[in-house]
Amino acid sequence: MKNIVAIYPGSFDPVTNGHLDLIHRGSKLFDKLIVAIAVNLDKGETLFTMKERKEMLVAMTEELDNVSIDTFEGLLVSYCIRQGANAVLRGIRAISDYEFELQMALMNRKMEPRVETVFMMPAEQYSYLSSRIVREIAKLGGPLTGLVPKMVEDRVRERIARRHISATGKHLL
Ligand code: ADP
């Protein structure tokens, strides 16, 4: 039997129920799944620090024995080889994800043919969900129920409230 170790890379700012849906599916399919938070210099400022994103992912995947959480910097395929991984897990939500994901998967394959990209689809109710939309709804005071776990919802609300307070200078009063 082959030992399939997969890497699930992303920014997870914050982890959503869509990510968790994919992690559960991946943990059933692969022998080992490493959720790898990317240090992404292009995405600009994040809502949560690397440490906070990791803490939330660790708490939300505690019951999954073959899932671990890590962080990485630099080329994904180089990280895969360092970890002894032979697969990359990515989620496909809408058609709009496809073009970018195809380009990345083919480029990664060209750089490192030993690593295969595997695409999985989340349950339909998560197919429109992204971390960005969670951050935006939270900033506008909308409901996050069903989009992220309760612990994440509390942390997002607390972070956004705190940012709002410092932006309005009320913390000085
Ligand atoms: P986001 O797109 O939410 O900011 P990331 O950059 O952390 O998330 O994405 C990491 C991976 O998770 C990508 O492959 C992305 O397609 C996938 N993903 C994100 N949200 C979902 C979802 N709701 N359902 C399935 N896959 C998802």
pLDDT in tens, 47-74: 999 999 999 999 999 999 999 999 999 9
Mean pLDDT of 10-16: 97
Which residues have CB under 6 Å of ligand 1? 10-12, 16, 18-19, 22, 90-91, 93, 97, 122, 126, 129-132
Q: Number of helices and strands (H, E) in the chain?
A: 6, 5
Between the CA of 172 and the centroid of ligand 1 the distance, in Å, is 38
Closest residue by CA, ligand 1 atom 24: 18
Q: In the chain, what are the domain boundaries?
A: 5-127
What does pTM read for this prediction?
0.92
User: What is the Cα–Cα distance from 145 to 166, expressed in whole angstroms?
Assistant: 26
In this model, does residue 42 exceed pLDDT 80?
no
User: What is the Cα–Cα distance from 61 to 7, expressed in whole angstroms?
Assistant: 15
Mean pLDDT of 97-118: 96
Q: What's the confidence (pLDDT) of residue 44?
A: 74
Helix (H, G, I), strand (E, B) or coil at 116: strand
**Cβ partners under 8 Å of residue 77, min gap 6:** 108, 111, 112, 115
Cis before 14? omega within 30: yes
Instruction: Write out the two tokens for 104.
Output: 């990345």
**Cβ partners under 8 Å of residue 136, min gap 6:** none
What class is the 5-127 domain?
alpha beta
State pLDDT tens for residues 115-173.
999 999 999 999 999 999 999 999 999 999 999 999 999 999 999 988 876 666 554 44
Q: What's the confidence (pLDDT) of residue 173?
A: 42
Indicate the top mutation candidate among 8, 45, 101, 130 to test ligand 1's pocket, ranked by most ligand atoms within 8 A of CB.
Answer: 130
Q: What's the confidence (pLDDT) of residue 46?
A: 93
